[in-house]
Amino acid sequence: MQKKPAFTAMVSAVALATLVLTGCQESAPPPAAQTPQVGVVTLQPQVFTLTAELPGRTSAYRVAEVRPQVDGIIQKRLFTEGSEVKAGQQLYQIDSSVYQASFKSAQATLASTQSLAERYKDLVSDQAVSKQAYDEAQAARLQAEAALERARIDLRYTKVLAPISGRVGRSVVTEGALVNNGQANALATIQQLDPIYVDVTQSTSELLRLRRDLASGKLQKAGDNGAKVRLKLEDGSDYAQEGTLEFSEVSADEGTGSVTLRAVFPNPEHLLLPGMFVHAQLSSAVNQQAILAPQQGVTRDPKGQATALVVGEGNKVELRKLQAERTSGNRWLVNEGLKPGDRLITEGLQFIKPGDEVNPAEATNVSGDKPSSADLVQSR
């Protein structure tokens, strides 16, 4: 019975120690929270050239179908298919024997009527012939002159000449073929390839914006009223020559709501051939103070609104709503919401929220290279 007080004393001592320890733990201050570190990019204004990339096809600058203007048999073909020909160069020779005879006959008729008209001129003054006979002789002379001119034209047309300079295609006739004036099939086709047209399509809404840019002077002028155009070929390579915008179609396509734009390109090496598929890059505007934000720092809220977090005064995080409609490489072109000098957060976004104080440092997840003007392309 003497051990009970000792056991009671020991229990009381353990309880007292527990209370003391609990009191110490409750009075100890919590550990200080660390300021999160974020990576930032300081935005600077850049020269931005907006370029619309439009699909299109090439077409010859001029096209001429070679057709016979008299009937006859082809005697000779005087060109090499696929070669360059000059305007006025003879391409075919049609049998001219019949037309040569007609020409000589017309010459003889003219000589006879001229002689008669001259004799009547002397006789009419002496009243040896009537005035009516003299007038008829003069009319016959004029008709003979017209017949001779027609015979000369027909004889000249037996030489089929190139109407324009350019590259001649394949011949659809050979020697011995009978051809006719006004026939449906052309003998050959000549296409002028230097310069060459590129026809592209653009929506009417974009065309209206383009015209406003031209009127306001935002477009890069090339000549009196042309915008600069560059080409990307089917294999992805860039065409070395630069073209100019010539005109737009006078009416819109009711089915697609688009219009055709025509650009003209130098083609000295004939690299571009009619019918090739290309992409035309139309330089439509230049912004000397563009803000290009890295895509790592731009997000979308549930409503689709572009947003960004920046480091403001006192290193406090600020939320910005942006107008960012198009990309340029790995960056967004921001029209509103950011300004030069803003410190855009691109790293550590998952650990912060607006109003937090942060420790900014140079971002490591964004390339320091600025996009070149060749990369600033908007595909449509």
Q: Convert the pLDDT of each residue in 333-359 to its tens digit.
A: 888 899 999 999 999 999 899 999 999
Domains and CATH numbers, the chain: 37-47+288-379 (2.40.420.20), 52-61+198-286 (2.40.30.170), 68-95+158-185 (2.40.50.100), 96-157 (1.10.287.470)
Distance CA 154, CA 107 (A): 14
Distance CA 289, CA 131 (A): 90
- What pTM value is reported for the model? 0.65
In the chain, the percentage of residues whose pLDDT exceeds 90 is 53
The pLDDT of 203-213, averaged and rounded, is: 73
Instruction: Say what the pLDDT of residue 30 is.
Output: 58
pLDDT grade for 126, boundaries at 50, 70 and 90: confident
Provide the b/e sequence for 8-47 (b: ≥16 CB within 10 Å).
eeeeeeeeeeeeeeeeeeeeeeeeeeeeeebbbbebeebe
Instruction: Say what the pLDDT of residue 213 is.
Output: 60
Q: 25-67 pLDDT, tens per residue?
A: 555 555 556 889 999 999 998 887 777 788 899 999 999 999 9
User: Would the pLDDT of 1 be above 50?
Assistant: no
CB atoms within 10 A of CB 237: 9
Instruction: Say what the pLDDT of residue 32 is.
Output: 53
Please give the mean pLDDT across all residues of the chain: 83
User: Would the pLDDT of 248 be above 90?
Assistant: no
Q: 299-323 pLDDT, tens per residue?
A: 998 888 999 999 999 999 999 999 8
Comparing 377 with 241, which gets the higher pLDDT? 241
Q: 165-178 pLDDT, tens per residue?
A: 999 999 999 999 99
pLDDT grade for 21, boundaries at 50, 70 and 90: very low
CB atoms within 10 A of CB 143: 13
Q: How close are the terminal C-alpha atoms of the chain, in Å? A: 100
In the chain, the percentage of residues whose pLDDT exceeds 70 is 82
